[in-house]
Amino acid sequence: MVGLLDEAWGLLAEGVADPGSAWRVLALANVTAEGAPGVRSVVLRGVQSRARVAVVHTDLRSPKMAALARDGRAALLGWDAGRRVQIRLDGVIEMAGAAETDSAWAALPEASRTTYAGGLAPGTPVDTPEIPAAAPDRSVFAVLRLGIGAMEVLSLARGAHRRARFAWPDGGLAATWLAP
Protein backbone atom coordinates (compact mmCIF):
# COMPACT_ATOMS: atom_id res chain seq x y z
CA MET A 1 0.00 0.00 0.00
CA VAL A 2 2.89 2.38 0.73
CA GLY A 3 4.06 1.76 -2.85
CA LEU A 4 0.78 3.22 -4.10
CA LEU A 5 1.32 6.29 -1.91
CA ASP A 6 4.86 6.73 -3.24
CA GLU A 7 3.55 6.36 -6.79
CA ALA A 8 0.95 9.08 -6.17
CA TRP A 9 3.57 11.49 -4.82
CA GLY A 10 5.67 10.73 -7.90
CA LEU A 11 2.79 11.52 -10.24
CA LEU A 12 2.19 14.84 -8.49
CA ALA A 13 5.90 15.68 -8.71
CA GLU A 14 5.68 14.91 -12.43
CA GLY A 15 2.91 17.49 -12.69
CA VAL A 16 5.17 20.14 -11.21
CA ALA A 17 8.12 19.30 -13.45
CA ASP A 18 6.36 18.58 -16.76
CA PRO A 19 3.99 21.18 -18.27
CA GLY A 20 2.50 18.44 -20.48
CA SER A 21 1.66 16.13 -17.59
CA ALA A 22 -1.94 15.26 -16.76
CA TRP A 23 -1.06 16.22 -13.17
CA ARG A 24 -0.10 19.81 -14.09
CA VAL A 25 -3.62 21.25 -13.98
CA LEU A 26 -5.81 20.13 -11.08
CA ALA A 27 -9.32 21.06 -9.96
CA LEU A 28 -9.44 23.09 -6.74
CA ALA A 29 -12.71 22.76 -4.82
CA ASN A 30 -13.86 24.74 -1.80
CA VAL A 31 -16.96 26.36 -0.34
CA THR A 32 -17.70 29.77 -1.88
CA ALA A 33 -18.48 32.89 0.16
CA GLU A 34 -22.16 32.18 -0.63
CA GLY A 35 -21.88 28.66 0.85
CA ALA A 36 -22.09 26.89 -2.50
CA PRO A 37 -19.55 24.47 -3.98
CA GLY A 38 -16.85 26.20 -5.98
CA VAL A 39 -14.39 24.53 -8.33
CA ARG A 40 -11.82 25.85 -10.76
CA SER A 41 -8.63 24.71 -12.47
CA VAL A 42 -5.26 25.61 -10.99
CA VAL A 43 -1.69 24.86 -12.01
CA LEU A 44 0.23 22.66 -9.58
CA ARG A 45 3.41 24.60 -8.87
CA GLY A 46 4.94 22.54 -6.07
CA VAL A 47 4.51 19.41 -4.01
CA GLN A 48 6.36 18.42 -0.85
CA SER A 49 5.69 14.82 0.15
CA ARG A 50 7.47 14.95 3.52
CA ALA A 51 5.67 18.13 4.57
CA ARG A 52 2.47 16.97 2.81
CA VAL A 53 1.96 20.27 0.98
CA ALA A 54 0.74 21.13 -2.51
CA VAL A 55 1.39 24.63 -3.89
CA VAL A 56 -0.63 26.66 -6.40
CA HIS A 57 -0.65 30.32 -7.42
CA THR A 58 -3.59 32.70 -7.60
CA ASP A 59 -4.64 36.31 -7.96
CA LEU A 60 -5.36 37.88 -4.55
CA ARG A 61 -8.43 39.58 -6.01
CA SER A 62 -10.02 36.29 -7.04
CA PRO A 63 -13.38 35.55 -5.36
CA LYS A 64 -11.93 32.29 -4.04
CA MET A 65 -9.61 34.28 -1.76
CA ALA A 66 -12.50 35.69 0.30
CA ALA A 67 -14.03 32.23 0.50
CA LEU A 68 -10.75 30.63 1.60
CA ALA A 69 -10.23 33.36 4.21
CA ARG A 70 -13.57 32.34 5.78
CA ASP A 71 -13.05 28.58 5.41
CA GLY A 72 -9.68 27.27 4.26
CA ARG A 73 -10.83 23.69 3.77
CA ALA A 74 -10.27 22.63 0.18
CA ALA A 75 -9.52 19.71 -2.11
CA LEU A 76 -7.37 19.28 -5.19
CA LEU A 77 -8.43 16.64 -7.71
CA GLY A 78 -6.54 15.26 -10.67
CA TRP A 79 -7.25 12.59 -13.26
CA ASP A 80 -4.81 10.95 -15.66
CA ALA A 81 -6.86 9.34 -18.43
CA GLY A 82 -3.88 7.50 -19.89
CA ARG A 83 -2.96 5.85 -16.61
CA ARG A 84 -6.59 5.73 -15.43
CA VAL A 85 -5.63 7.15 -12.04
CA GLN A 86 -7.39 9.76 -9.91
CA ILE A 87 -5.78 11.51 -6.94
CA ARG A 88 -7.66 13.68 -4.44
CA LEU A 89 -5.88 15.78 -1.83
CA ASP A 90 -7.96 17.09 1.10
CA GLY A 91 -6.70 19.72 3.49
CA VAL A 92 -6.56 23.33 4.53
CA ILE A 93 -5.20 26.18 2.41
CA GLU A 94 -3.03 28.96 3.80
CA MET A 95 -1.27 31.80 2.06
CA ALA A 96 2.49 31.53 1.89
CA GLY A 97 4.65 34.18 3.51
CA ALA A 98 6.27 37.09 1.73
CA ALA A 99 9.66 35.42 1.22
CA GLU A 100 8.15 32.33 -0.46
CA THR A 101 5.82 34.50 -2.55
CA ASP A 102 8.68 36.77 -3.67
CA SER A 103 10.75 33.71 -4.61
CA ALA A 104 7.87 32.18 -6.57
CA TRP A 105 7.28 35.47 -8.41
CA ALA A 106 10.96 35.74 -9.33
CA ALA A 107 10.91 32.17 -10.71
CA LEU A 108 7.70 32.65 -12.69
CA PRO A 109 8.23 32.94 -16.46
CA GLU A 110 7.25 36.31 -17.92
CA ALA A 111 4.44 34.71 -19.93
CA SER A 112 2.92 33.34 -16.72
CA ARG A 113 3.32 36.66 -14.92
CA THR A 114 0.91 38.27 -17.36
CA THR A 115 -1.84 36.21 -15.69
CA TYR A 116 -1.38 38.49 -12.67
CA ALA A 117 -1.90 41.82 -14.40
CA GLY A 118 -3.08 44.99 -12.81
CA GLY A 119 -6.40 46.37 -13.91
CA LEU A 120 -9.51 44.24 -13.63
CA ALA A 121 -9.90 41.60 -10.97
CA PRO A 122 -10.69 38.03 -12.11
CA GLY A 123 -14.42 37.58 -12.61
CA THR A 124 -15.15 41.27 -13.19
CA PRO A 125 -18.04 41.66 -15.68
CA VAL A 126 -16.90 43.26 -18.95
CA ASP A 127 -18.67 44.47 -22.10
CA THR A 128 -16.28 42.78 -24.52
CA PRO A 129 -13.93 39.80 -24.36
CA GLU A 130 -11.04 41.97 -25.56
CA ILE A 131 -9.43 43.30 -22.40
CA PRO A 132 -6.68 45.91 -22.72
CA ALA A 133 -3.28 44.50 -21.83
CA ALA A 134 -1.94 45.44 -18.42
CA ALA A 135 1.50 45.01 -16.95
CA PRO A 136 2.19 42.13 -14.53
CA ASP A 137 1.58 43.19 -10.95
CA ARG A 138 3.37 41.38 -8.13
CA SER A 139 0.99 42.96 -5.60
CA VAL A 140 -1.93 40.77 -6.79
CA PHE A 141 0.07 37.53 -6.86
CA ALA A 142 -0.31 34.95 -4.09
CA VAL A 143 1.05 31.51 -3.33
CA LEU A 144 -1.39 29.10 -1.72
CA ARG A 145 -0.25 26.06 0.26
CA LEU A 146 -2.63 23.15 0.76
CA GLY A 147 -1.65 21.32 3.95
CA ILE A 148 -2.68 17.81 3.00
CA GLY A 149 -4.55 15.94 5.72
CA ALA A 150 -5.67 13.07 3.51
CA MET A 151 -5.06 11.65 0.06
CA GLU A 152 -7.22 9.22 -1.90
CA VAL A 153 -5.81 7.32 -4.85
CA LEU A 154 -8.15 5.53 -7.26
CA SER A 155 -6.68 3.29 -9.94
CA LEU A 156 -9.04 2.03 -12.62
CA ALA A 157 -6.43 -0.05 -14.43
CA ARG A 158 -8.06 -2.77 -16.48
CA GLY A 159 -8.71 -5.81 -14.33
CA ALA A 160 -7.24 -4.31 -11.16
CA HIS A 161 -9.44 -1.53 -9.78
CA ARG A 162 -8.24 -0.36 -6.38
CA ARG A 163 -8.71 2.61 -4.12
CA ALA A 164 -6.86 3.67 -0.99
CA ARG A 165 -7.08 6.48 1.53
CA PHE A 166 -4.01 7.82 3.28
CA ALA A 167 -4.30 10.16 6.25
CA TRP A 168 -1.86 11.48 8.83
CA PRO A 169 -3.62 11.78 12.19
CA ASP A 170 -1.18 12.97 14.84
CA GLY A 171 1.61 12.88 12.23
CA GLY A 172 1.52 9.10 11.68
CA LEU A 173 0.33 7.42 8.50
CA ALA A 174 -3.05 5.68 8.55
CA ALA A 175 -3.73 3.79 5.31
CA THR A 176 -6.99 2.07 4.39
CA TRP A 177 -8.13 0.18 1.32
CA LEU A 178 -11.54 1.32 0.06
CA ALA A 179 -13.98 -0.20 -2.38
CA PRO A 180 -13.35 1.42 -5.76
- The chain-wide mean pLDDT, for the chain, equals 94
- Quick one: pLDDT band at residue 71, thresholds 50, 70, 90? very high
Contact 54, 76 (CB under 8 A): yes
Distance CA 96, CA 115 (A): 19
User: Is pLDDT above 90 for 119?
Assistant: no
**Which residue segments constitute the domains of the chain, with CATH numbers given?**
8-122+135-147 (2.30.110.10)
User: Is pLDDT above 80 for 118?
Assistant: no
pTM of the predicted model as reported, rounded to 2 decimal places:
0.92
